[in-house]
């Protein structure tokens, strides 16, 4: 039997070692199993050692609805008409806003007539401030 010559080797023998690759792969597998076991133990510890009590929800069985139903407007046009009627009654009626302070609300038409007759109240004249040296003539 002829001896294997150095020229018969088909891979680079100086860059890596097959033994090192095997040790690295084995170490990686041991690390993965260790992390998996530690995470399982932590999950068991934090859950109190019992499986969840909610049960399994499948698509065939609908989940119970625990939230309250929203308050929907059944007849929005009727609600709108009622709101507009309340606003119109406020605009076209006399009423007290604050009886102790003597504040009353009057109909909008009457308020516009009063403003047209009397006009808006005039502002008080602004307080004169002393002029600076730059503003003096």
pLDDT tens digit sequence for 59-98: 776 667 777 787 788 888 999 999 999 999 999 999 998 9
Confidence of residue 13 (pLDDT cuts 50, 70, 90): low
Both tokens assigned to 78: 């009727």
Q: Which domain holds residue 111?
A: 85-118
Q: Is residue 26 included in any domain, yes or no?
A: yes
For residues 107 and 92, is the Cβ–Cβ distance under 8 A? yes
Q: Is residue 63 included in any domain, yes or no?
A: no
Higher model confidence: residue 74 or residue 7?
A: 74
Domain count, the chain: 2
* 24 pLDDT higher than 90: yes
- The pTM for the full model equals 0.35
Nearest residue to 108 (alpha-carbon basis) of 82, 90, 129, 123: 90
Q: Is residue 70 included in any domain, yes or no?
A: no
Q: Is residue 37 included in any domain, yes or no?
A: yes
């Amino acid at each position: 039997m002829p001896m294997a010559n150095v020229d018969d080797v088909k891979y680079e023998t100086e860059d890596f070692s097959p033994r090192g690759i095997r040790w690295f792969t084995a170490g990686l597998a041991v690390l993965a199993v260790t992390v998996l076991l530690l995470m399982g133990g932590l999950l068991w510890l934090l859950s109190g050692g019992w499986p969840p009590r909610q049960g399994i929800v499948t698509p065939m069985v609908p989940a119970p609805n625990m939230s309250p139903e929203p308050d929907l407007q059944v007849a929005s046009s009727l609600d709108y008409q009622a709101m507009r009627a309340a606003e119109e009654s406020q605009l076209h009626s006399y009423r007290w806003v604050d009886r102790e302070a003597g504040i009353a609300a009057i109909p909008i038409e009457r308020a516009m007539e009063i403003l047209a007759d009397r006009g808006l109240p005039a502002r008080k004249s602004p307080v004169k401030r002393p002029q600076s040296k730059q503003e003096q003539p």
